[in-house]
Amino acid sequence: MAKKQAPKAPTADAAGDKPAGKSKLKLIILIVVGLLLAIGLSVGATWFFLGKNASKDEEAEKTEEHSSEAAAPVKQPAIYELVAPAFIVNFNYQGRQRYMQVSVALMARDQAELDALKVHMPVLRNRLVMLFSGQDFAALMTPVGKEMLRQQATASVQELAQKETGKMAIEQVLFTNFVLQ
Protein backbone atom coordinates (compact mmCIF):
# COMPACT_ATOMS: atom_id res chain seq x y z
CA MET A 1 0.00 0.00 0.00
CA ALA A 2 2.90 2.19 0.44
CA LYS A 3 3.39 2.05 -3.25
CA LYS A 4 -0.09 3.33 -3.80
CA GLN A 5 0.48 6.30 -1.60
CA ALA A 6 3.69 7.24 -3.29
CA PRO A 7 2.08 7.94 -6.67
CA LYS A 8 -0.51 10.14 -5.00
CA ALA A 9 2.18 12.45 -3.66
CA PRO A 10 3.37 13.60 -7.13
CA THR A 11 -0.22 14.31 -8.17
CA ALA A 12 -0.57 16.38 -5.04
CA ASP A 13 2.50 18.38 -6.09
CA ALA A 14 0.99 18.81 -9.52
CA ALA A 15 -2.19 19.99 -7.90
CA GLY A 16 -0.06 22.34 -5.80
CA ASP A 17 1.39 23.87 -8.99
CA LYS A 18 -2.04 24.83 -10.25
CA PRO A 19 -2.87 26.95 -7.20
CA ALA A 20 0.53 28.62 -7.51
CA GLY A 21 -0.28 29.60 -11.16
CA LYS A 22 -3.68 30.85 -10.11
CA SER A 23 -2.14 32.88 -7.31
CA LYS A 24 0.22 34.58 -9.81
CA LEU A 25 -2.76 35.45 -12.02
CA LYS A 26 -4.67 36.75 -9.00
CA LEU A 27 -1.65 38.81 -7.99
CA ILE A 28 -1.37 40.38 -11.47
CA ILE A 29 -5.11 41.14 -11.51
CA LEU A 30 -4.90 42.72 -8.04
CA ILE A 31 -1.94 44.89 -9.11
CA VAL A 32 -3.73 46.06 -12.28
CA VAL A 33 -6.93 46.80 -10.36
CA GLY A 34 -4.92 48.64 -7.72
CA LEU A 35 -3.16 50.75 -10.35
CA LEU A 36 -6.44 51.56 -12.09
CA LEU A 37 -7.97 52.49 -8.75
CA ALA A 38 -5.00 54.76 -7.93
CA ILE A 39 -5.15 56.43 -11.34
CA GLY A 40 -8.91 56.90 -11.03
CA LEU A 41 -8.57 58.42 -7.56
CA SER A 42 -5.80 60.72 -8.79
CA VAL A 43 -7.86 61.95 -11.75
CA GLY A 44 -10.96 62.34 -9.58
CA ALA A 45 -9.13 64.31 -6.91
CA THR A 46 -7.50 66.56 -9.51
CA TRP A 47 -10.82 67.20 -11.19
CA PHE A 48 -12.49 67.91 -7.85
CA PHE A 49 -9.89 70.38 -6.63
CA LEU A 50 -9.43 72.11 -9.98
CA GLY A 51 -13.19 72.29 -10.39
CA LYS A 52 -13.43 74.09 -7.05
CA ASN A 53 -10.70 76.56 -8.02
CA ALA A 54 -12.24 77.10 -11.44
CA SER A 55 -15.59 77.98 -9.89
CA LYS A 56 -13.83 80.37 -7.51
CA ASP A 57 -11.97 81.89 -10.48
CA GLU A 58 -15.22 82.26 -12.40
CA GLU A 59 -16.82 84.02 -9.44
CA ALA A 60 -13.78 86.29 -9.13
CA GLU A 61 -13.92 87.06 -12.87
CA LYS A 62 -17.62 87.90 -12.61
CA THR A 63 -16.99 90.32 -9.76
CA GLU A 64 -14.06 91.82 -11.69
CA GLU A 65 -16.27 92.21 -14.76
CA HIS A 66 -18.90 94.04 -12.75
CA SER A 67 -16.31 96.34 -11.21
CA SER A 68 -14.55 96.90 -14.57
CA GLU A 69 -17.87 97.62 -16.28
CA ALA A 70 -18.48 100.36 -13.78
CA ALA A 71 -14.93 101.67 -14.17
CA ALA A 72 -14.51 101.46 -17.97
CA PRO A 73 -17.40 102.31 -20.29
CA VAL A 74 -18.37 99.79 -22.91
CA LYS A 75 -17.29 100.74 -26.43
CA GLN A 76 -20.33 102.01 -28.29
CA PRO A 77 -21.14 100.95 -31.85
CA ALA A 78 -19.75 103.03 -34.68
CA ILE A 79 -21.87 105.78 -36.26
CA TYR A 80 -21.06 106.91 -39.80
CA GLU A 81 -21.87 110.32 -41.26
CA LEU A 82 -21.37 110.88 -44.98
CA VAL A 83 -20.03 114.29 -45.92
CA ALA A 84 -21.93 115.24 -49.08
CA PRO A 85 -21.27 116.32 -51.77
CA ALA A 86 -18.01 114.63 -52.67
CA PHE A 87 -14.83 116.71 -52.73
CA ILE A 88 -13.48 117.52 -56.20
CA VAL A 89 -9.99 119.01 -56.38
CA ASN A 90 -7.90 119.90 -59.45
CA PHE A 91 -4.13 119.58 -59.87
CA ASN A 92 -1.65 120.73 -62.49
CA TYR A 93 0.54 117.67 -63.01
CA GLN A 94 3.19 117.43 -65.74
CA GLY A 95 1.61 120.25 -67.71
CA ARG A 96 -1.85 118.63 -67.74
CA GLN A 97 -4.94 119.34 -65.71
CA ARG A 98 -5.72 116.46 -63.29
CA TYR A 99 -8.66 115.90 -60.97
CA MET A 100 -9.32 114.06 -57.75
CA GLN A 101 -12.77 113.14 -56.43
CA VAL A 102 -13.05 111.94 -52.83
CA SER A 103 -16.19 110.88 -50.96
CA VAL A 104 -15.69 111.08 -47.21
CA ALA A 105 -17.44 109.43 -44.25
CA LEU A 106 -16.83 110.36 -40.62
CA MET A 107 -16.79 107.59 -38.01
CA ALA A 108 -17.83 108.50 -34.48
CA ARG A 109 -19.09 106.68 -31.38
CA ASP A 110 -21.38 109.32 -29.85
CA GLN A 111 -24.28 110.81 -31.81
CA ALA A 112 -24.43 113.94 -29.64
CA GLU A 113 -20.77 114.76 -30.30
CA LEU A 114 -21.26 114.12 -34.02
CA ASP A 115 -24.28 116.46 -34.07
CA ALA A 116 -22.23 119.14 -32.30
CA LEU A 117 -19.58 118.84 -35.03
CA LYS A 118 -22.18 119.06 -37.84
CA VAL A 119 -22.73 122.69 -36.87
CA HIS A 120 -19.15 123.36 -37.97
CA MET A 121 -19.46 121.48 -41.29
CA PRO A 122 -18.48 124.51 -43.47
CA VAL A 123 -15.18 124.87 -41.57
CA LEU A 124 -14.62 121.13 -41.78
CA ARG A 125 -15.23 121.07 -45.55
CA ASN A 126 -12.88 124.04 -46.01
CA ARG A 127 -10.10 122.30 -44.08
CA LEU A 128 -10.49 119.12 -46.12
CA VAL A 129 -10.55 120.98 -49.48
CA MET A 130 -7.37 122.84 -48.54
CA LEU A 131 -5.73 119.62 -47.40
CA PHE A 132 -6.73 117.72 -50.55
CA SER A 133 -5.67 120.49 -52.94
CA GLY A 134 -2.23 120.78 -51.34
CA GLN A 135 -1.27 117.15 -52.10
CA ASP A 136 1.16 115.83 -54.68
CA PHE A 137 -0.73 114.04 -57.46
CA ALA A 138 2.05 111.47 -58.03
CA ALA A 139 2.06 110.50 -54.34
CA LEU A 140 -1.72 110.01 -54.35
CA MET A 141 -1.45 107.35 -57.05
CA THR A 142 0.12 104.93 -54.55
CA PRO A 143 -1.81 103.13 -51.80
CA VAL A 144 0.63 104.50 -49.21
CA GLY A 145 -0.06 108.05 -50.42
CA LYS A 146 -3.82 107.52 -50.12
CA GLU A 147 -3.47 106.14 -46.59
CA MET A 148 -1.24 109.05 -45.58
CA LEU A 149 -3.85 111.47 -46.91
CA ARG A 150 -6.57 109.64 -44.95
CA GLN A 151 -4.53 109.89 -41.76
CA GLN A 152 -3.87 113.60 -42.35
CA ALA A 153 -7.60 114.16 -42.93
CA THR A 154 -8.40 112.29 -39.69
CA ALA A 155 -5.90 114.40 -37.73
CA SER A 156 -7.27 117.62 -39.26
CA VAL A 157 -10.89 116.76 -38.44
CA GLN A 158 -10.00 115.64 -34.91
CA GLU A 159 -8.12 118.90 -34.36
CA LEU A 160 -11.13 120.89 -35.54
CA ALA A 161 -13.50 118.85 -33.34
CA GLN A 162 -11.27 119.37 -30.30
CA LYS A 163 -11.04 123.10 -30.98
CA GLU A 164 -14.72 123.71 -31.66
CA THR A 165 -16.53 121.21 -29.42
CA GLY A 166 -13.89 120.44 -26.80
CA LYS A 167 -14.18 116.70 -27.49
CA MET A 168 -12.54 114.21 -29.84
CA ALA A 169 -15.82 113.55 -31.66
CA ILE A 170 -14.42 111.77 -34.72
CA GLU A 171 -12.53 108.49 -34.47
CA GLN A 172 -11.64 108.16 -38.16
CA VAL A 173 -12.13 109.78 -41.54
CA LEU A 174 -12.86 107.15 -44.17
CA PHE A 175 -12.67 107.46 -47.96
CA THR A 176 -15.71 105.77 -49.47
CA ASN A 177 -14.77 106.76 -53.04
CA PHE A 178 -11.40 107.89 -54.35
CA VAL A 179 -10.96 108.73 -58.04
CA LEU A 180 -7.88 110.19 -59.68
CA GLN A 181 -8.09 111.33 -63.30
Distance between CA atoms of residues 66 and 151, nearest Å: 36
Q: Where are the domains of the chain?
A: 1-74, 79-180
CB-based contact 102:131 (threshold 8 Å): no
Each residue's pLDDT expressed in tens, for the chain with a length of 181 residues: 555 555 554 544 444 445 667 788 889 999 989 888 888 888 888 888 887 666 666 666 666 555 555 555 678 898 999 998 999 999 888 888 999 999 999 999 989 998 988 999 999 999 999 999 888 888 999 999 999 999 999 999 999 999 988 888 899 999 999 999 8
Length of the chain: 181
Is it true that domain 79-180 has CATH number 3.30.479? yes
